[in-house]
Amino acid sequence: MKNIAVILLFFALSCPFSTRAQDISQLTAQCAANAGDVMYLKDFIVKLDAGTPGGAPPTARFALLLSKSVVYRLSICTAPNSEGEAVLQLFDMNTLLGSTFITATGKEFPFFDFKCQKTGVYHVFISFKEGKAGEGVGVLSYVKKL
């Protein structure tokens, strides 16, 4: 719980005076707080335009280094003014390891936990359902060491 308070205080003090920056900082702090009793590590801020009909949806890609024998939590939050709902996916090369949206069932999740089996570079993809325009933030958190 102390970690969440520290994160919220950090964002409150470091937030620039523009309205948009304050909104994103608040969304990031809210997303980190919604992840539960975990330690904030990194955020992924995205703003994407709508995709073209029939084309692939616009996607933001981020590379990150994860360590073996650590449980991570990946969370996603969509800004209130977004047309689409944000979806976060974690990949190792071309293998999908986790997602906040299960296409087969249509179920959405605010976060998922990932038990890292090998140290290496992984990729976070954030897009918006149906290729709609949107703004959101993904958060990587540390849960525990195995």
Reported as a single tens digit per residue, the pLDDT across 61-88 is: 999 999 999 999 999 999 998 999 999 9
d(CA 105, CA 20): 34
d(CA 90, CA 62): 10
Q: Is the pLDDT of residue 40 over 50?
A: yes
With cut-offs at 50, 70 and 90, classify the pLDDT of residue 53: confident
Q: Tell me the one-letter amino acid at 85.
A: E
- Is 1 contained in some domain? no
d(CA 29, CA 9): 9
Which pTM does this prediction carry?
Answer: 0.81
- Is 16 contained in some domain? no
- Is 19 contained in some domain? no
Q: Identify whether the C-beta of residue 140 lies closer than 8 Å to the C-beta of residue 64.
A: yes
Q: What pLDDT is attached to residue 30?
A: 85
Any idea what the CATH number is for the domain that residue 116 is in? Answer: 2.60.120.380
- Is 20 contained in some domain? no
List, for residues 84-117, the tens digit of each pLDDT value. 999 999 999 999 999 999 989 989 999 999 999 9
Q: What pLDDT is attached to residue 8?
A: 46
Region 26-35: mean pLDDT is 86
Query: Could you tell me the residue range of the domain that residue 101 belongs to?
Result: 38-145
- Is 25 contained in some domain? no
- Is 11 contained in some domain? no
- Is 75 contained in some domain? yes
- Is 71 contained in some domain? yes
Number of domains present in the structure of the chain:
1
List, for residues 116-136, the tens digit of each pLDDT value. 999 999 999 999 998 999 999
Percent of the chain with pLDDT over 70: 85
